A and B are shown apart, each in its own frame.
Chain A
Amino acid sequence: MDSGDGVVHAEITVTVNGAARRLRVDTRVSLLDLLREELGLTGAKKGCDHGQCGACTVLLDGRRANACLALAVAQDGAEVVTVEGLAGGDRLSPLQQAFLDEDAFQCGYCTPGQLCSATGMLDEAARGRPSAVTPPGDGPPELDDAEIRERMSGNLCRCGAYVNIVAAVRAAAGEAAR
C-alpha cells in the first residue's frame, strides 16, 4: 500500500505478551521501534540499532532475537514476548528474582535484554543445543561459567556487571535443573 509519498504500509497481526494486535506498519519500522514507539513497551532498549549489543533482545516465536534487526512487517503471525511479559502477574520469573538476589545490574539499561536473552538461552541449553565451548558429544551441556559467558556474549553491559549477571544466570540454571 503506497500512501503517495513513496512510503509503504502493511497490515500485520502479532501477538505481544499474549495479546493479539492488528497493526498498520511502515515497512521500514523495526520490531524494536514498533514495540517501543507504537505499543508503549519500552522495556526492550535501543543500545546500538545494529545488532551489536543485545539490549533489544526479545523472544520471537520462543527464541531470543535482536528486535532492532527484525523488520516489523516480516513478523506477521509471530509471537513476541518482551521483558514486560516474563513475570506471571506480580510473580517474578526465577531468573528475574535471581537478578535481584545477585545484584546483577547497575544502571539497568542492558537488563531487559539480559533477561530475555538468558530466558531464551536456558531453554536452548535445556534442549541440548551446543555453544562454541561445548565439548563434542550429545549430552545436555553443563552450564558452567564458561558456557554461560559464551552463550550470553551477545549481551553487552556498559557497567560491567558481568560477574553478577553470570552468578544470577547460574543460580537460575541451577533452579531450573532441580
Chain B
Amino acid sequence: MRPFAYERATTAGAARAAHTGDAAYLGGGTNLVDLMRLGVAVPDRLIDVSGLAHDRIERRDDGAIVIGAGVRNSDLAADRTVRAELPVLSQAVLAGASGQIRNQATTGGNLLQRTRCPYFQDVTKPCNKREPGSGCAARDGENHNHAILGHTLTCVATHPSDMAVALTALDASVHLHGRDPLPLAELYRLPHDDASRDTTLAPGDLITAVEVPPPGMPSAYRKVRERASYAFALVSAAVALDVADGAVRGCRIALGGVAHRPWRAYRAERLLTGMPATEESFRRAALAEMENAEPLRDNGYKVPLTANLVCRTLSDLASGEGGRP
C-alpha cells in the first residue's frame, strides 16, 4: 500500500480545504481501505470525515428528513422515523452487507462506494473505470452480474449500493459543502465514454447530508441475491406506491443491479399512473421498462427476474403487504 498522511477533520470547511491532489475522504473505510489494499485506490492523504458533526437524523419543519453524511448505516436503519415512514430505506440498508459493516459504514461512504465488478478490483486486468483507455475485461468476460440497461462499450458495471436505490426512489438529494444540493438523479451517471467517474461530483466535493422529501407513500425494498444474506444484489427494486379507489395515484420505482447507476423506471411509472392497481397493469409496466434491456452474454436472466421482482413488489404493496407510509 502506498504510504499516506492521515488527518482527522473537525469541520466540513477544514476537510474541504485539506482535500488537494490525490487526497481522499475517509468515512467508515469499509470500501476505501479494501480498495487501497487491492491497489485500486492509491490516495496520498486520508481526510477522516467520520468524526464531523454530521451524525444526526432530523426532521425539518417542512417535513423533509435530513440524514447526516456521517450517520452509520446501522443507526440509519434503526431510526424510528425512518423505519416508520421510509420503510424502503430501512429495508434497503438492512439488506446490505453485514451487522459489522453496517456499524462502520457511513451514509456518505455508502453512496460513493465503488462497483464490485471483479475486473475493476483486479489491477492485472484491463478496466476503463480504473484505467481509462485500457479496455473493459467484463464486456466479453464473465459478466453474469453486470448491467442490462444504459451500458456502453466503455463499461458494463453496476452500482452496488442498496441504500442508493431506495434513496433514488424517494427523490432524495445530497447536500454538498459550499455547493447547491444535488438530486440523486443528477448525482449518479451512466458510463457513456468515460467510466472513470461514477458520479458528477468534482474532486473534493464533500457530502454533508442526504435530504429525503416528506414521505407519503407506502414503500418496500426487495433484493434478489445468490445467498440469503451478506451478498450484493443480482437485482433489487425500491418501490413506493399510492393507490386510491383501486387506481394507481402515484408510484416510484428504482432498480438496483441493472445499471451503472440506480435505475429509475420512469417509463413504468408513467404507464402505471392512473391505471387500475392490478397485477395485469403491474406486469405490463414492468415488461415495458425492460423493453430497452440489452443483456450481455451471461446475464439474460436479469431481464425476466427484474420484471418479476417489480411486478411482485407492486402487487404486495397494493395488497397492503410491505411498508407503511
Instruction: Decide whether A and B are members of one complex.
Output: yes
Best-surrounded residue of A65, A69, A131 (most CB of chain B within 10 A): A69
Given contacts A66-B30, A76-B8, A136-B323, contact A117 B80 (CB under 8 A): no
Decide if B83 is an interface residue (CB 8 Å cutoff).
yes
**In the complex the two chains form, is A130's CB within 8 Å of B4's CB?**
no
CB closest residue in chain B, given A62:
B103
> Is the beta-carbon distance between A49 and B37 smaller than 8 angstroms?
yes
Question: CA of A51 to CA of B231 in the docked complex: distance in angstroms?
Answer: 12
A154 interface neighbour in B33, B87, B98, Cβ under 8 Å: B98
Chain B: number of interface residues, binned into ranges: 35 or more
B29 contacts A by Cβ under 8 Å: yes
A167 at the binding interface (Cβ < 8 Å)? no
B78 close to A130 (CB less than 8 A): yes
**Most chain-B CB neighbours within 10 Å: which of A2, A26, A132, A150?**
A132
- Whether the pair A51, B230 counts as a contact (CB closer than 8 A) is no
B-chain residues with CB within 8 Å of residue A57 when the two chains form the complex: 100
Stretch with Cβ within 8 A of A (4 or more), from B88-96, B278-286, B298-306: B88-96
B6 and A129 form a contact (CB under 8 A): no
Q: Is the interface of B mostly helix, strand, loop or mixed?
A: mixed
Given contacts A27-B46, A51-B34, A74-B6, contact A69 B29 (CB under 8 A): yes
**A7: B residues at CB distance < 8 A:** 3
Interface residues of A in 126-178 (CB under 8 A from B): 128-132, 136, 138, 149-155
Output the least CB separation between A78 and chain B (Å): 11
Once bound together, how far apart are the Cα atoms of A138 and B4, in whole Å? Answer: 44
Whether A63 pairs with B103 at a CB distance below 8 angstroms is: yes
Q: Are A154 and B26 in contact (CB under 8 A)?
A: no
Find out whether the CB atom of A154 lies under 8 angstroms from the CB atom of B100.
yes
Contact with B80, one of A28, A30, A138 (Cβ below 8 angstroms): A138
**Cβ–Cβ contact B100 & A54, under 8 A:** yes
A57 CA to B102 CA, complexed, in Å: 13
Are B229 and A73 in contact, with the CB atoms below 8 A? no
Closest to B94 in A: A132
**Given contacts A65-B100, A69-B33, A117-B99, A136 and B324 within 8 Å (CB-CB):** yes
Given contacts A51-B30, A153-B98, 7 further A-B contacts (CB under 8 A): A129-B78, A131-B99, A136-B83, A136-B324, A138-B80, A150-B228, A154-B230
